[in-house]
């Protein structure tokens, strides 16, 4: 498996999918958050009424807006990358060659997921840096304890969002389809939104990270956040099992 990780990492780094997804998360979330921040600074009552949590402006509004965008847009980007990582072998017809390797398919799946998690950590870190630069460039006060805490929550949110996207890997592997993975990504976003409206709130693993980050840590307990981690881990394990049992007769 140690030999498989560098190979999977090179695949992702050289792929337009990885580059575009990274830019979408880092530049997309930062750009949209900046637009909301500057809109809030205008003081126009009609604009403020449409901004929701971002209407308060300042670092608080920036963090709330970034969390809201990451929860939906980030989940989509992570899901697309997962779908590509796990289903591209079937789409490109390279899956048959993997059976000739001395590495088991289960180990290959673990390598793919390890690269995905590492990539999500890097992307989350880059986004935090970009948001910090945006805030300072917008004339907000220098970071204090509360602001550093907000940046830390955004970083954790990025990683947890990557974790709750892991059902995409399982479905993409089961269906052997890129489109199956993308459809699952859209379904996760819908379930998270509907679940919150229905009252599940932070007990829904798909919604807990965003609610926690948007509320400055008050809307979700550590137990509820841990459910998001367990949720992702279960689907990571299920994905590994699918690859371990993979056959060429389908």
Query: Using one digit for the tens of pLDDT, what is the confidence trace for 200-212?
Result: 788 999 999 999 9
Give me Rg for the CA atoms of the chain: 19
Q: What is the mean pLDDT of residues 136-150?
A: 85
The answer to whether 213 and 154 are in contact (CB under 8 A) is: yes
Please report the pLDDT score of residue 44 as a whole number.
52
Name the average pLDDT for the chain. 87
Share of the chain above pLDDT 70, in %: 90
The structure's pTM equals 0.91
Structure tokens at 193: 């939104």
Residue 250 covered by a domain: no
For residue 10, with 0-12 CB atoms within 10 Å meaning exposed, 13-18 middle and 19 or more buried, which class applies? exposed
Q: Please tell me which of 27-41, 74-88, 100-114, 139-153 the model is most confident about, judged by mean pLDDT.
A: 74-88
Residue 50 has pLDDT above 70, yes or no: no
User: Which CB contacts under 8 angstroms, 24+ apart, belong to 186-192?
Assistant: 186/76, 188/75, 188/79, 188/164, 189/72, 189/75, 189/76, 192/71, 192/75
Residue 14 covered by a domain: yes
Residue 168 covered by a domain: yes
At 103-117, the pLDDT tens digits run 888 899 999 999 999
Residue 57 covered by a domain: yes
Residue 209 sits at the vertex; the CA angle it makes with 195 and 123, to the nearest 5 degrees, is 125
Q: What is the mean pLDDT of residues 7-36?
A: 90
Kindly indicate the confidence band of residue 47, based on its pLDDT and cuts at 50, 70 and 90.
low
Please report the pLDDT score of residue 51 as a whole number.
53
Please report the pLDDT score of residue 16 as a whole number.
92
Q: What is the mean pLDDT of residues 50-70?
A: 75
Residue 142 has pLDDT above 80, yes or no: yes
Produce one character per residue of 196-210: b if its CB has 16 or more CB atoms within 10 Å, e if not. Answer: beeebebebbbbbbb
Range of the domain at 212: 4-244
Kindly indicate the confidence band of residue 179, based on its pLDDT and cuts at 50, 70 and 90.
very high
Residue 250 has pLDDT above 60, yes or no: no
Residue for token pair 């780094």: 13
CB hemisphere CA count around 32 (13 angstroms): 19
Please report the pLDDT score of residue 43 as a whole number.
57
Nearest-angstrom CA–CA distance, 86 and 83? 5
Structure tokens at 13: 């780094």
In total, how many domains does the chain have? 1
Q: What is the mean pLDDT of residues 166-172?
A: 96
Phi, psi of 216 (to 5 degrees): 60, 30
Q: DSSP secondary-structure letter at 28?
A: I
Q: At what angle do helices 167-175 and 75-91 cross, to 10 degrees?
A: 20
Share of the chain above pLDDT 90, in %: 56
Between 45 and 219, name the one with better pLDDT.
219
Residue 65 covered by a domain: yes
Structure tokens at 194: 């509907």
């Amino acid at each position: 498996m140690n030999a498989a990780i560098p190979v999977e990492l090179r695949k992702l780094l050289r792929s337009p999918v990885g580059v575009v997804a990274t830019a979408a998360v880092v530049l997309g979330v930062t750009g949209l958050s900046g637009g909301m921040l500057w809109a809030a600074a205008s003081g126009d009552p009609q604009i403020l009424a449409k901004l929701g949590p971002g209407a308060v402006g300042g670092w608080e509004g920036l963090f709330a807006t970034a969390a809201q965008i990451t929860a939906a847009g980030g989940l989509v980007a992570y899901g697309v990358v997962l779908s590509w990582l796990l289903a591209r072998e079937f789409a490109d017809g390279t899956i048959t060659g993997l059976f000739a390797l001395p590495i088991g398919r289960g180990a290959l799946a673990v390598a793919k997921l390890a690269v995905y998690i590492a990539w999500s950590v890097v992307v989350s870190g880059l986004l935090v840096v970009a948001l910090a630069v945006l805030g300072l460039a917008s004339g907000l006060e220098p970071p204090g304890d509360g602001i550093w805490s907000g940046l830390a929550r955004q970083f954790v949110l990025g990683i947890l969002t990557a974790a709750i996207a892991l059902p995409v890997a399982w479905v993409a592997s089961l269906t052997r389809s890129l489109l199956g993975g993308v459809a699952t990504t859209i379904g996760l976003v819908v379930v998270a939104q509907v679940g919150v409206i229905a009252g599940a709130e932070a007990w829904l693993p798909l919604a807990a990270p965003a609610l926690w980050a948007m509320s400055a840590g008050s809307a979700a307990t550590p137990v509820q956040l841990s459910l998001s981690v367990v949720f992702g881990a279960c689907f990571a394990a299920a994905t590994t099992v699918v690859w371990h049992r993979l056959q060429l007769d389908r």
